[in-house]
Amino acid sequence: MDQPLKLKRQYVKNVGRGLKVVGKDKTIRQGKLIAADDTLISLEIETVIKGNRPAGRHGKKK
């Protein structure tokens, strides 16, 4: 998919297609969208790419 999904109906329409989900921690999960409803999506995960942790207490020092 080239465009981000924003509406619930877009998720339902795209069940069975490939999807990339970027989490708050910048982890990328790629796979096939299995199911979608008003509150959840189910993804058959094929690839996980760990994201960078945000700089904070445990981040790099300047």
Task: Give residue 30's domain range.
Answer: 8-49
The sign of the CA dihedral 14, 4, 42, 8 is: negative
**Is 61 among the domain residues?**
no
**Is 54 among the domain residues?**
no
**Is 31 among the domain residues?**
yes
**pTM, full prediction:** 0.71
pLDDT in tens, the chain (62 residues): 578 999 999 999 999 999 999 999 999 999 999 999 989 999 999 999 998 765 555 555 55
* Measured distance CA(60)–CA(45) in Å, rounded: 31
The sign of the CA dihedral 52, 57, 59, 62 is: positive
**Is 3 among the domain residues?**
no
For the chain, what is the domain count? 1
Yes or no: say if 53 and 41 are a contact pair by the CB < 8 Å rule: no
